[in-house]
Amino acid sequence: MSPAKSDNSVPKSRLLEFYEQMLLVREAENRLSKLFADGEVPGFIHLSVGQEAVCVGVTSALKREDTLASNHRGHGHALSKGVELNSFFLEIMGKEEGICGGRGGSMHVADMSVGMLGANGIVGAGIPLAVGSALAHQVRENGAIAAAFFGDGALAEGVLHESFNLAALWKLPILFVCENNGWSEFSPTDRQFGANVRELAGVFGIPSDYVDGDDVLDVHDAASDLVTAIRAGEGPRVLECVTHRVRGHFEGDSQKYRAEDEMNSLSNHDPIAKLESVISKRRIPKKEVAAIREKIDAKINAAVEAGRAGNAPDFDRAQADVYTAVRGV
Amino acid sequence: MAEVRFGKAVNMALDDALAADPTVILFGEDVAEAGGPFGVTRGLLEKYGDRRVRDTPISEAAIVGAAVGAAMSGLKPIVEIMFMDFVAIAMDAMVNQAAKARFMFGGQCSVPMVLRTPHGGGVNAGPQHSQCLEAWFAHIPGLKVVVPSNPSDANRLLRAAIADPDPIVFVENKAMYSLKGEFDESSEPIEIGKAYVARAGNDVTIVSYGAAVNTALQAADKLASRNISVEVVDLRSIQPWDEEAVLASLSRTHRLVVLHEAVTAFGVGAEIVARMSDIGFDELDAPIKRVGAPFMPTPFAKSLESQYLPNAEDVIAAVEQVLA
C-alpha cells in the first residue's frame, strides 16, 4: 500500500470533516465493543474497525437522496450516510426509541429518511435491493443513484453475479462497492473465490476502479469519479477498496485463524492514523484535532446515555407492524 | 356480462394498474417482447414501453431482490416468476427481505410489490413445473398469499393486491389460464382476506381455494343429485385467511372437508383443521377430513398425474366419510 497522499489541493475543512466522520465510526464501534462485552448490547455485532475510510470516502461522494444497501458489517455505512447517532445506539441497545424500534438491532439498522435501506443479515442480499433501488431512480428519473456495499465474502454469492448482469443490461445508476478485507467470515477469500471483483465486473462490461481502501482521500476521489459517470447515465460502476478488518468476524471471535504477523501489521494500515499523518503534514493545529476528538467523545457519551435511558420495546406495537394497517381495499 | 379467459382477466388488471399509476412497473422472464410464457402479459410492452415493462435475464434471485429494493424506493413492482417451482431460487428476497422489512425497520417502510406465479399440475409438466408451494409463503409473517379460483376473482383480487402496501404472492393455477368465466368490468376490487360462499348448502362445508374450488363445485353438483347439500367456501386468500367465514359455515353445516391441490401433509389445510378443531370444536359433528395431493412429487406421466391430483371423486369420498 502506498502511504496516504498529502495532496495540498484537499481543503483543510474537508480533511477535518473526513477525520471527524471516520473518528465517529471508529469510536462508536469501540464503544459498542465495550457495551457488548459488558452485556449492554445483546446478540451479535460485526465491527468494521479499520475499514472506516471506505464508508466515509464513498458516502461523501453521494447525496442525501441517493440510496445505499449495506451488509452485516454496516455500522459505518449507516453513520456516514447520516443515521442519527442517538437513535443508532438506541437501536443496537434494543430500545423502543431506536431507529427501528429495537426490532432489528445491529444487523438491520436502516433509515429511509437518509436513503439507508438497511444493513443485512444475509451475505450478498443487499446487492439486488440496491439494484432495485437504482431501477426505481431510473424509472422515476429523479437523478439519484444507489450504492451497494458488500465485502469480498459476498463475491461467491450467485445473486452478486446476477445483479452485475442485470445492472449492466439495464444501465442502472448504481455504484457497487466491494470492501475487500481479505476475509470471508473465518476464511481467507483466496480460498473462497477463484476470480477477483474487477475481472468479474469486466466480464459484464462494467468499468471499475481499485483503490487503497485505507486512504479516505483516494477512496473519495475514486468514488467521486465513478459517481459522476453514473449520474451522467453511463450505467453501473464497481469500486474495489482494499482494506483491513481489525476485529473478528463478530465480537467475541478470538481470530485464532489469523497469523500473528498479519495481526501485528494491521496498525500500519490504520486509515485514521493515515489521515492524521496528512493532517499533521499540513500543519493543522493539534488543538483543532483534539477538539474534534472531544466533540466525538461527547456525542458518543450522550448517545450511550440516551441508549441506557431508552425503554424496552412494546410487544403489541411490534406485532402491529408485521403488516401495514389498511382501511378497506 | 362478458365472458373472459382467466389469463386475459389477469392481463386486464395489469393493464389497468399500469394505466392508473406511473409507479407500477412490470418485469420478469419473457414478460415483455414475448408477452409471457402463457400470454398473460401480451400487449403491455407495446402500450407502456420498455421502461416500465421489462424482460429480465433468467435470474430469479435478482428479479425478486430488485423488486424488493424498487418497492422500498418508491415503485410498485409486479414481477412474474415463470413457474412457482422457480421461487425456490428467490426465497431470500421474499422471506428474509420483503416479508421482514416493515417489521425489522420499525415500520419505516412497506414493500408494495406483487409476485405473480403459476402453480399446479394437470398439464403433465412434471416434478419441477407443477408444485403448489403456497404454504411456504403463508408460513412467513409479513407476506400475503392470494389464490383466485376464477377469471373475475383473478382480476378483482389482483387489482387489490397491486394496491396493497404489503408484499403479496399472487398464485395463478396454470391449468386455468384458458378457462372462461363471466366478468363485469365495472366490478370493484375484492378485499384481501375475505372468503366467500361459492355455493350455499346445509349438510357439509368444503373449504378450498384456487382451481380446487372448481373441483369442490363439481363434487357438490354430483352430491346434490343424491340430496346431499354442500356449501363451498372459497378462501380467495390464504394469508390472511378468513377463519370467521369458515367458522360461520361450519356452524351451519357442522361438518367440514378441506380441499387443496397442494400436498396434504403440512399444508394450508392443516392450519385450517387445527384452527377449526380449536375454535369450532363444539360445532363439529364429525372429524374434519383433508383432501389434497399425496406425499410425493408431482409425477409426469398422464396416468400417474391423474391419480396424483385430487379430483371430485376424492372429495365425494371425503364428504361421505364426514356424513357417515
Residues in CB range of A268: below 8 A, 6 or more apart? none
As a whole number, mean pLDDT of residues B201-230 equals: 98
Shortest CA gap B256–chain A (Å): 29
Q: Which backbone phi and psi does A239 adopt, to 5 degrees?
A: -120, 120
**Residue of A194, A316, A166 lying closest to B56 (CA atoms):** A166
Query: B145: distance to nearest CA of chain A, Å?
Result: 13
Cell numbers that stand for B155 in this block: 382480476
Q: Which domains does chain A have, with CATH numbers?
A: 12-319 (3.40.50.970)
Cα of A117 to nearest chain B Cα, Å: 8
A176 interaction partners in chain B (CB closer than 8 Å):
none
Task: Name the residue among A112, A134, A323 with its Cβ closest to that of B108.
Answer: A112
Point out the residue among A98, A137, A324 whose CB comes nearest to the CB of B73: A137
* Percent above pLDDT 90 for chain A: 95
Alpha helices in A180-285 (DSSP H): 197-203, 216-231, 260-265, 271-281
How far apart are the CA of A113 and the nearest CA of chain B, in angstroms?
9
Residues of A in contact with B189 (CB under 8 A): 329
* pLDDT, tens digit, 9 for 90 and up, residues A32-44: 999 999 999 999 9
Instruction: Decide if A326 and B102 are in contact by the 8 Å CB cutoff.
Output: no
A170/B59 Cβ within 8 A: no
CA-closest candidate to residue A148, choices A217, A201, A205: A201
At A329 the pLDDT is 38
Decide if B103 and A122 are in contact by the 8 Å CB cutoff.
no
Give B-chain residues touching A168 at CB under 8 angstroms: none
Looking at beta carbons, which residues of chain A come within 8 Å of B157?
A: none
Q: Which residues does chain B have within 8 Å of residue A135's beta carbon, measured at their own beta carbons?
A: 25, 66, 69-70, 75
Local confidence band at B185 (pLDDT 50, 70, 90 cut-offs): confident
Q: CB distance A104–B106 less than 8 Å?
A: yes
Radius of gyration of chain B (CA): 19
A88: cell is: 443508532
Say if the Cβ atoms of A136 and B75 lie within 8 Å: yes
pLDDT of amino acid A328:
43
CA pair distance A83, A91, nearest whole angstrom: 11
The yes-or-no verdict on residue B96 having pLDDT over 60 is yes
- Chain B positions touching A137 (Cβ under 8 A) are 73
Q: Span B58-72, mean pLDDT? A: 98
Mutation target to probe the B interface, by most B beta carbons within 10 A, among A166, A316, A327 is: A166
Catalytic residues of B: 60, 129
Cα distances (angstroms) measured from residue B166 to each of A68, A161, B10, B93: 22, 28, 19, 14
- What is the rounded (10 degree) CA torsion for A245, A250, A255, A260? 20
Cβ separation B57–A169 shorter than 8 A = yes
Q: What's the whole-number average pLDDT of chain A?
A: 95
B-chain residues near A123 (CB < 8 A): none
Q: Which of B25, B107, B166 sits opposite A101 (nearest CB)?
A: B107
Distance from CA of B214 to the nearest CA of A (A): 26
CA–CA separation, B168 vs B127, rounded Å?
A: 25
Residue contact A139–B75, C-beta within 8 A = yes
Nearest to B165 by CA among B76, B69, B53: B76
| DSSP class of A116 | B
Q: Where are the alpha helices (DSSP H) in chain B?
A: 6-20, 44-48, 60-71, 91, 99-104, 134-138, 151-163, 212-224, 243-253, 268-279, 302-308, 312-323
CA B52 – CA A240 distance, rounded (Å): 32
Q: C-alpha cell of B61?
A: 434471485
CB contact under 8 A, B69 and A101: no
Could you tell me the domains of chain B?
Answer: 2-183 (3.40.50.970), 196-323 (3.40.50.920)
Cβ pair B69:A98 closer than 8 A: no
Three-state secondary structure call for residue A201: helix
- pLDDT tens column, A303-324: 999 999 999 999 999 999 999 9
Element (H, E) at B282: none
Sheet bearing A67-69, strands edge to edge: A67-69, A146-151, A174-180, A237-242, A208-212
Contact across the interface for B104 and A100, Cβ inside 8 Å = yes
Round to whole Å and give the CA distance between A158 and A180. Answer: 18
Cell numbers that stand for A80 in this block: 456516514
Give A34→chain B minimum CA distance, Å. Answer: 25
List, in sequence order, every residue forming a beta bridge with B28; answer none if it has no partner. B55, B80
CB contacts < 8 A (A, B): 155
Nearest to A62 by CA among A117, A5, A123: A117
Contacts with A165 from chain B: Cβ below 8 Å: 57, 59, 62
Determine whether the interchain pair B66/A158 forms a contact, defined as Cβ–Cβ distance below 8 Å.
no
**Interface mutation vs chain B, best among A68, A311, A324, A327, most B CBs within 10 Å:** A324
pLDDT at A5: 55
Give the residue from B291, B280, B235, B233 showing the smallest Cα distance to B254.
B280
pLDDT tens by residue, A270-315: 999 999 999 999 999 999 999 999 999 999 999 999 999 999 999 9
Q: pLDDT tens-digit profile of A72-106? A: 999 999 999 999 999 999 999 999 999 999 999 99
pLDDT digits (tens, 9 = 90+) for A131-180: 999 999 999 999 999 999 999 999 999 999 999 999 999 999 999 999 99
